[in-house]
């Protein structure tokens, strides 16, 4: 039998070293290296045994293949019976893949997973819970409106070896682990949730998924910095990392792919938290816009795009005299460094003095927007609040703002204009360079092409 290996792993980032170090060379944190004992056959035997049992009768053993003999046809994906989740995954769940779903405590990770598998009546699913009892899961399923759940098997277990034993007996089509921080293996002498346990359990589950073709969904916690807890290698092991975001004070939840080997990472799924679970939001524009904001200053509507989905978001701004010597700059749902840049452009290129003003920017609905086309709406909302003049109803805008004050072109302008027209907007401000791609079509909405920020503000405020 091979001798166990002694290693040192950073608790913060997962950097591994052969000796103890005071300061981590990767993340720069002090006193984060912990001694771990890595067994030479950690989880391998149980994972290989479970995989061979599940694989028997489904496919033959793996063997080398010539590159020219490999089929280029896309592998059929598993329908999750959830349009938002399918979109984020890139069209469905790939057989043999391993998915990591992370989010803050109480955000709805377990609710989303349980609600999804209850609708997958065509698959046999094993749900492993290390945090809740079977009674708690039954009560949650009843609250979600569970009708017939003969296809879902519940296992309350934290031992990795016992989990693989039950997998051999059940032979499921999908395995859900809730959560990976509660699972431990006997081959590692450390507590559940430690760096070693999380890494070795995830590696064993990866071997099982790849060798058996059964997809595995891992639910993970996040730390106080907002990143996934556990070693950084956990994110490298899995095929897809999905972040479930949202403010508990808002009803909306955002599902965002941070890493996806089988699809795009720019897709977005939007849910609404209701009494009976999470409801898919197919048209987020109508929910993210305030119905009545006539006569209110500091509000501008932006035509944004996340992934392939266009929607209109409401940008709110508040400008007031600084109460202290240093003015405050705060942004919710928007990059604060970009806000500082836009304020500098507004002061240098347009001539509005904001050096002694507090500026607060908020994206309504608890949404976090990364589309650069919202720059124009942020500047318009800030100026509207500064002069206390509301923007007329029926106006929206889309455009990236450069450092010289120019309005740069944005992508997919046709979809943005069509979305604004569908929701009844009568005017849209857009970059002049995007106008050439819209000349072939006729729109009911009036187009206002601009080259500079001052031209856009002149259109809005005269």
Distance separating alpha carbons of residues 337 and 331, to the nearest angstrom? 9
Q: Summarize pLDDT for 260-272 with one digit per residue, the tens.
A: 998 888 788 888 8
- Nearest CA to 398 out of 336, 305, 331, 460 is that of 305
Distance separating alpha carbons of residues 91 and 89, to the nearest angstrom? 6
Tell me phi and psi for residue 318, to 5 degrees.
Answer: -135, 120
Query: For residue 152, what pLDDT band results from cuts at 50, 70 and 90?
Result: very high
> pLDDT value at position 116?
94
Query: For residue 45, what pLDDT band results from cuts at 50, 70 and 90?
Result: low
**What percentage of the chain carries pLDDT values higher than 90?**
47
> pLDDT value at position 458?
92
> pLDDT value at position 1?
44
Average pLDDT, the chain: 86
Task: Give yes or no for residue 343 having a pLDDT over 80.
Answer: yes
Beta bridge partners of 125: 152, 174
Task: Give yes or no for residue 2 having a pLDDT over 80.
Answer: no
Compare 45 and 127 and report the one with higher pLDDT: 127
**What's the token pair of residue 77?**
């994906």
**What's the token pair of residue 400?**
């990236």
Compare 333 and 37 and report the one with higher pLDDT: 333
Cα distance from N-terminal residue to C-terminal residue, the chain:
82
Contact 354, 234 (CB under 8 A): no
Contact 59, 26 (CB under 8 A): no
Beta bridge partners of 320: 358
Q: Which residues of 418-450 are buried (b: 16+ CB within 10 A; e: fewer)?
A: bbbeebebebbbbbbbbeeeeeeeeeebeebbb
Task: Give yes or no for residue 225 having a pLDDT over 80.
Answer: no
* Mean local confidence (pLDDT), 442-452: 91
> pLDDT value at position 44?
60
Task: Give yes or no for residue 51 having a pLDDT over 90.
Answer: no
* Mean local confidence (pLDDT), 86-90: 91
Helix axes 453-461, 375-387, angle to 10 degrees: 50
> pLDDT value at position 403?
94
Contact 346, 379 (CB under 8 A): yes
Query: Taking the model in full, what pTM does it have?
Result: 0.76
Query: For residue 67, what pLDDT band results from cuts at 50, 70 and 90?
Result: confident
- Nearest CA to 204 out of 65, 43, 350, 402 is that of 43
Q: Summarize pLDDT for 310-335 with one digit per residue, the tens.
A: 889 999 999 998 877 789 999 998 99
């Amino acid at each position: 039998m091979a001798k166990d290996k002694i290693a040192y792993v950073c608790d913060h980032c997962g950097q591994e070293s052969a000796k103890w170090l005071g300061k981590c060379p990767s993340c720069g944190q002090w006193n984060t290296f912990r001694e771990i004992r890595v067994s030479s056959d950690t989880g391998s035997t149980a994972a290989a045994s479970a995989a061979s049992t599940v694989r028997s009768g489904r496919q033959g053993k793996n063997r080398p293949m010539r590159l020219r003999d490999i089929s280029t046809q896309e592998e059929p994906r598993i329908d999750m019976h959830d349009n938002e989740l399918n979109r984020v995954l890139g069209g469905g769940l790939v057989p043999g893949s391993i998915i990591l779903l992370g989010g803050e405590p109480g955000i709805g990770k377990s609710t989303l997973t349980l609600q999804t598998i209850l609708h997958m009546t065509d698959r046999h699913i094993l749900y492993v819970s290390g945090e809740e009892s079977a009674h708690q899961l039954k009560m949650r399923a009843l609250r979600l409106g569970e009708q017939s759940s003969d296809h879902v098997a519940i296992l309350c277990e934290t031992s990795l070896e016992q989990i693989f034993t039950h997998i051999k007996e059940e032979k499921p089509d999908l395995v859900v682990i809730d959560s990976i921080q509660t699972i431990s293996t006997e081959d590692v002498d450390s507590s559940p949730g430690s760096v070693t346990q999380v890494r070795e359990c995830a590696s064993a589950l990866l071997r099982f998924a790849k060798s058996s073709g059964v997809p595995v969904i891992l639910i993970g916690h996040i730390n106080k910095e907002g990143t996934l807890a556990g070693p950084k290698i956990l994110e490298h092991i899995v095929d897809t990392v999905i972040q479930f975001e949202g403010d508990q004070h808002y009803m909306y939840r955002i599902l965002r792919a941070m890493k996806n080997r089988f699809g795009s990472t720019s897709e977005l799924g939007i849910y609404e938290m209701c009494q009976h679970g999470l409801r898919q939001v197919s048209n987020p524009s109508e929910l993210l816009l305030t119905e009545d904001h006539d006569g209110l200053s500091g509000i501008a509507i932006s035509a944004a795009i996340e992934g392939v989905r266009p929607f209109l978001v409401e940008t709110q701004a508040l400008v007031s005299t600084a109460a202290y010597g240093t003015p405050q700059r705060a942004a919710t749902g928007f990059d604060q460094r970009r806000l500082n840049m836009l304020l500098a452009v507004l002061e240098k290129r347009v001539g509005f003095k904001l050096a002694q003003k507090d500026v607060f920017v908020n994206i309504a609905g608890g949404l976090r927007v990364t589309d650069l086309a919202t720059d124009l709406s942020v500047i318009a909302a800030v100026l509207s609040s500064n002069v206390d003049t509301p923007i007329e109803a029926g106006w929206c805008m889309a455009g990236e703002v450069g450092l010289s004050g120019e309005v740069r072109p944005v992508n997919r302008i046709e979809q943005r204009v069509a979305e604004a027209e569908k929701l009844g907007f009568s005017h849209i401000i857009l970059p002049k360079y995007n106008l050439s791609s819209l000349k072939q079509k006729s729109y009911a909405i009036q187009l206002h092409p601009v080259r500079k920020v001052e031209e856009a503000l002149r259109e809005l405020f005269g």
